[in-house]
Structure 1
Amino acid sequence: MKPGSDGWAGMSWKWADVDDVRRRLDEGADPERWSGGRPLHHAAVFGSPQVVGELVGRVADVDALENGVTALWEAVVSGKPHNARVLATAGADPWRPLIGGWSPGRLSLAGPTPDLFPVPEGTGLTDPERAAAQESRRLITALGTFHYDGTGLACVAGIDAAEAVRRLRAAPVEDEAADEVLKEPYGYDMDRILQIVGVTTVPGGCVVTQPWGYAPQMPGVLTLLSADTVCYGLYANPKSGNQGSIARHGAVESWDLHPGGGPHENDTAEEVLASYLYHCNAVAYSCAFSGLAPTDSRAVVGPPDVWVELPRRDYWSH
């Protein structure tokens, strides 16, 4: 190992090769430190159970924290039950409270592997938490899998498509004209088609969608839609990933959020649960935040109830 090196050069996010990891460790790689964070935390997410098993025998504390969580937490949130079992067998504590008061073990009760750890007597989910978990499974299944890079959404609670159109003062667009844009959106000058959005009523509210751009998430759109209610905006930026925002009662209150990205260190208990349930499901997260319960993906991918054109104005100064 070169002087001053931690022994993990060139690892990037690849932590599945146990022979390579073992060789590096035997040659002096630091089991506690890597330029990208703690090796065990990254192996818990990106590695194999064999690599996790190799590392747990070399670290001083299997429950060491990084960004407020343990490697076991990372394995649970990332949906790596085999890695989680290796960590628990090595002494990691499934019931240690971490972010928002949640422990890895109690969080796992809301996910697809509720039998991951032996559950202490008296430990479980509350009725609202159990209902949220059930709805997440229904919603994710109902939406299904589809390509949504480049899509903009506004998920609005408590109003229907007609009310959304009224608030936006939008004018109807012929379905045929919108369909032509939808066939080849990137063949158009964006300035010509940015004002065109689809609007669809769903149980709980409505969805404003633009499969080719960010218009529904523009601040001026969100403030109009969120009068006397709440609205979650999403732009699936192909270059930088999912970008979320929250507008409430006509004002944008949060911006540059990361829906579907997993819990963060300062999240509340409710935010932790939602981020876990909708991990890597940004569209479902956006719908759930506003209490929408679509029964399929039509409100997102089309055809919408109605295509409309927004008035030309400054939507960024709000």
Structure 2
Amino acid sequence: MSDGTGGWAGIGYGDWTDLAGIRARLDAGADPDAEVWAYQRPLHVAAEEGSPEVVAELARRVADVDAEHEGRSALWNAVYHGRPDNARVLVAAGADPWRPMMRGWSPGRLSLLGPEPELFGDPGRDPGLTVEEAVVVAVAPQARRVFDGFLLDGLGLACVAGVDAGEAVRRLGGAPAAVDLDGLDPFGDEALEIVGVTEVPGGCVIAQPWGYAPQRTDLMKRLSRGTVAYGLYANPKSGNQGCVFRDGEAESWGLNPGGGHPFPDEPSLEILTGYLTRDGAVAHCCAFVGLHPSDTRPVEGPPDLWIRLPAER
């Protein structure tokens, strides 16, 4: 087809479960190896969104069932997005679950740490975790349960490992503040000076339900001295903006926790955390640094204490 879409014009989310419709497109000349949504190939999209029948149909028509898009195979998509049914179909079609990709996270290696470690028939295989990765594996399930379905537009957050609330306040240089939330204008300058600080198992959380201040560079540098901190601003216009600071320096910037599709140049720990927390941005931030809060209070409030931040410097 020469419509510029490879024959996939007008296809929607629900269409990837319609075997007759997909087969009709293919029989009419749609290119199974074309780039469609977000420039992904049809098999990649179907592995995440489609039915096993559609995945099987596309798998038998593509040139290479292990072809990669941005470092990921269709099988990787199926595993990462919790579609073991589609993963089994892809393996039956010849996909390799142990093919290295995404900073060493093959589909098989990821699956060993998910809900179905026996997916590819080797549940006892050693995933070869670092100490930090093992911590994330241990705390991510609870973080995901606590923040399941949590809505966060406009939220600013900093999760800090191994630092209690008192030490966080000292590092921030803030002063305790009496806050009248009913009288506080969330769009005013004063609101950006106020953050909540709450101690949780593993460290502490600095939260601002209405703004970006917790992930300010000057604050993240101070909070992360001798440890690691994950900052998040859930920008209502452009989406989640994440960063990692370690020992006072920026380690990663421009991250998208809860964003759905990691990039191949993201750190290994970021990819693993995204898999274990799926689309949960707050759970991602907590788990990455080893925090395991028992409820949503550190983010929703009331915090252990409100403080007024010093001027940015």
Distance 1:142 1:48, change over 3 A: same
CA contact (8 A) 1:99 1:268 kept: no
Q: Does 1:82 align with 2:85?
A: yes
Aligned to 2:263, what secondary structure does the other structure show? coil
Residues in 2 aligned to 1:143 and 1:188: alpha-carbon distance in whole angstroms: 23
Farther-moved stretch of structure 1 (103-112 vs 261-270): 261-270
* Rounded Cα–Cα distance in structure 1 between residues aligned with 2:47 and 2:232: 29
Q: Does 1:140 align with 2:144?
A: yes
2:103 alignment counterpart: 100
The match for 1:25 is 26
| Aligned 8 A contact 2:158 2:214 in 1 | yes
In structure 2, the residue matched to 1:274 is 273
Once the two structures are TM-superposed, the CA of residue 278 in structure 1 deviates from its matched residue by 2.1
Assess if the C-alpha contact under 8 Å between 1:209 and 1:299 holds in 2: yes
Q: Structure 2 vs 1, CA of residues 3 and 141 (structure 1 numbering), >3 Å: closer, same or farther?
A: closer
Aligned length: 307
Deviation at 1:110, TM superposition (A): 0.6
| Superposed displacement of residue 273, structure 1 | 2.3
Partner residue in 2 for 1:201: 199
Write out per-residue CA displacement over residues 199-256 of structure 1, whole angstroms, 9 at most, x where no aligned residue: 0111221110011111111112212222333211111112222111122333333321
Q: 1:191/1:267 Cα in 2 relative to 1: closer, same or farther (>3 Å)?
A: closer
Aligned to 2:158: 154
In 2, Cα distance between equivalents of 1:107 and 1:32: 25
2:127 pairs, out of 106, 125, 128, with 125
Question: Which amino acid is the alignment partner of residue 230 of structure 2?
Answer: Y
Match of 1:190 among 188, 191, 196: 188
Amino acid at match of 1:166: R
Structure 2 stretches of 5 or more lacking a match? none
> Which letter does structure 2 place at the counterpart of 1:133?
V
Q: 1:173: how far off?
A: 2.0
Rounded to whole Å, the distance in 2 between the matches of 1:143 and 1:69 is: 27
**Is the CA contact (8 Å cut-off) linking 1:144 and 1:296 kept in structure 2?**
no
Per the alignment, residue 245 of structure 2 pairs with 247
Per the TM alignment, residue 275 of structure 1 is displaced from its structure 2 partner at its CA by 2.6
Counterpart of 2:112, as a letter, is L
For residues 283 and 83 of structure 2, what CA distance do their matches in structure 1 show? 21
Shift of 1:279: 2.3
Mapped contact 2:147–2:280 kept (Cα < 8 A): no
Task: Check if 1:294 corresponds to 2:296.
Answer: no
CA distance in 2 between partners of 1:221 and 1:125 (Å): 35
Distance 2:202 2:5 in 1: 55
Q: Which residue of 2 aligns with 1:6?
A: 6
Q: Following TM superposition, by how much is the alpha carbon of 1:195 offset from its aligned partner in structure 2, in angstroms?
A: 0.9
Does 1:166 find its partner at 2:134? no
CA distance in 2: counterparts of 1:161 and 1:90, whole angstroms: 53
| Contact 1:110-1:130 within 8 A present in 2 as well | no
Partners of 1:210 and 1:5 in 2: CA distance: 43
Cα 1:130–1:220 change in 2 (3 A) is closer
Q: Is the 8 A contact 1:143 1:295 kept in 2?
A: no
Unaligned runs of 5+ in 1: none
Following superposition, the deviation at residue 268 of structure 1 comes to 4.8
Tell me the residue number matched to 1:43. 46
Structure 2 counterpart of 1:231: 229
- Percent identity for Structure 1 against Structure 2: 54
**Counterpart Cα distance in 2 of 1:104 and 1:60:** 20
State the Cα deviation string for residues 107-128 of structure 1 (Å, max 9, x = none): 11111122222228x7333475
1:211–1:40 CA distance, 2 compared to 1 (3 A): same
What's the secondary structure of 1:82's corresponding residue?
helix
Q: Which of residues 111, 116, 119 is equivalent to 1:116?
A: 119
RMSD: 2.3
**Which of 35, 54, 57 in structure 2 is aligned with 1:54?**
57
CA contact 1:63–1:93 (8 Å) conserved in 2: yes
> Which residue does the alignment assign to 1:303?
302
Distance 1:74 1:92 in 2: 12
Provide the rounded CA distance (Å) in 2 between the counterparts of 1:228 and 1:151. Answer: 26
Q: State whether residues 171 and 310 of structure 1, in contact with CA within 8 Å, keep that contact through their aligned partners in structure 2.
A: yes
- Provide TM-score, normalisation by structure 1: 0.87
Match of 1:217 in 2: 215
TM-score by length of 2: 0.89
Q: Which moved more, 1:56-65 or 1:247-256?
A: 247-256
Give the secondary structure class of the aligned counterpart of 1:44: helix
Q: 2:187 and 2:283 mapped to 1: Cα distance?
A: 30
